[in-house]
Amino acid sequence: MKLRYSTTSPFARKCLVVAMETGLEDRVEVVITSPWAESDLPKDNPLGKIPALVTDGGEGLFDSPVICEYLDSLHGGVRLLPPEGGKRWSQLRLVALGDGLLDALVAKRVETAMRPEDKRWGNWIERQDKAVARSLDVLEDECTLWGSDFLMGQIAVACALSYADFRFAADGWRTGRPRLAAWFAEIAKRPSMVRSEPKE
């Protein structure tokens, strides 16, 4: 399998963390691809986004939740996305929260780092900040219920918190959120998280 990947993309990182956590890393060839440069990426994902996974059968899969679930179907261990029951729904909800947090952070990044300064829309940035703050507050309340779980939802959340550190350290997401900060401090030590840390 080929994973279209960038070392700065938190969505692509989710897929690599899943591959590492499930023992599939040796089967995944990482192909560094920038979604912002001219490339053949659209043949694997017509949306022109990363991640995209090309299966051994040649099919291009996207987006990150689909790729993560596909990878999760290929190993014989405990599923990172429980196949049924209440825990499946709470994990899917947590994936949506982690991915939504990332959507807001990436939207803010595009607005503040890529859009020309005179074209920036303050209300849009403020809206993303509010979505980020509300989501982090919910995670602060809920993270004590997770125990030692590092399932699909926790992976999405961990990649989002790390991305907040990577791009918006000055925003100080840990302030007022000691439980989430303590959870992340432990999770960030996992080999899959250490080995996939974002870099320019």
* Binding test (CB under 6 A) with ligand GSH, winner from 4, 17, 64, 150: 64
Tokens representing residue 120 in the block: 């920036």
**72 lies in the site for ligand GSH, by CB under 6 A:** no
Q: Does 63 bind ligand GSH (CB under 6 A)?
A: yes
Segment contacting ligand GSH (CB under 6 A): 49-57, 70-78, 134-142, 175-183? 49-57
**Cβ proximity of 155 and 68 under 8 Å:** yes
Point out which span in 19-27, 47-55, 119-127, 129-137 binds ligand GSH (CB under 6 A).
Answer: 47-55
With respect to ligand GSH, which residue has the nearer C-beta, 99 or 142? 99
Q: Does 99 bind ligand GSH (CB under 6 A)?
A: yes
CA–CA–CA angle 186, 191, 194 (5° rounding): 75
Number of H helices, E strands in the chain: 8, 4
Residue number, 14 or 177, with CB nearest to ligand GSH: 14
Taking the C-alpha atoms of residue 148 and residue 180, their distance in angstroms, rounded to an integer, is 13
Site string for ligand GSH, 25-44 (x = CB under 6 A): ----------x---------
Q: Which amino acid is at 152?
A: M
In angstroms, rounded to a whole number, what is the distance separating the alpha carbons of residues 113 and 131? 19
Kindly state the tokens that stand for 130: 């509010």
Under the criterion CB under 6 A, does residue 106 sit at the interface with ligand GSH? Answer: yes
Nearer to ligand GSH, 63 or 129 (CB): 63
**Angle formed by the axes of helices 152-168 and 178-187, nearest 10°:** 100
CA–CA distance from 44 to each of 2, 16, 72, 97 (Å)?
A: 10, 17, 20, 26
Q: Which residues bind ligand GSH (CB under 6 A)?
A: 9, 11, 35, 48-51, 63-64, 99, 106
